[in-house]
Amino acid sequence: MYRTLLYLIAGWSGYFVMGIELLGGRLLAPYFGSSIYVWGAIITVFMLALSLGYLCGGRASLHEPSLRRLTFILLAAALTTAPILIYGDALLDRLSASIGDPRFGSLAGATLLFFVPTLICGMISPYAVRLLVADLRGAGERVGKLYFVSTFGSAAGTLLTSFYLVLYLEVDQIIGLMLAISVLVCALAWVRPVALRT
């Protein structure tokens, strides 16, 4: 159950990141268009945020790592995504009025809306690796499974969001649904507290 929860959190965080990234294009399009510039800005912000998240997650895992602390990371990612629902349109409207160039306007918008939650999501995989690896003999296999699950979650988030969810739900509804699932995953892991086995 312990490892299953770690894989669940890693898989869901992969889904979450890609779902938000795709929806980011829909959010920015009315203000800056949907050109290659806009997608270049979104992808750049997400890649930079994830890379810094990997560093931060690895460092955070050095200090008394636990499943409960990992749930706090996932919950923090969800909470820092919530302002998109509240302030996203107003912020993008203001940016589009003040920054005429869609390249820099979309870069600023993507940074302000998505950088922090994506960075926090990036912390999850290296932190989960620390919890999975109790000895070196099975480390490679467990890490491989974790990255398989995380990347598979990313692929599922990309496909389901772009092929299906956008056909039936508004962007705000999809984000709200993903936030609710994040809270549910956190609650599931929280009621199953397991100390790190060393």
Domain ranges of the chain: 2-190
Q: How confident is the model at residue 92 (pLDDT cuts 50, 70, 90)?
A: very high
For 57, the token pair is 């997650």
Give the Cα separation of 126 and 143 in Å (integer).
9
CATH superfamily, domain at 2-190: MFS general substrate transporter like domains (1.20.1250.20)
Q: Which residues contact 166 (CB under 8 A, 6 or more apart)?
A: 23, 26, 174
pLDDT (tens digit per residue) in 73-83: 999 999 999 99
pLDDT (tens digit per residue) in 177-194: 999 999 999 999 888 754
Average pLDDT over residues 46-65: 95
Give the Cα separation of 196 and 92 in Å (integer).
43
Q: In the prediction, which pLDDT does 195 show?
A: 41
Alpha-carbon torsion (50, 52, 129, 174), positive or negative: negative
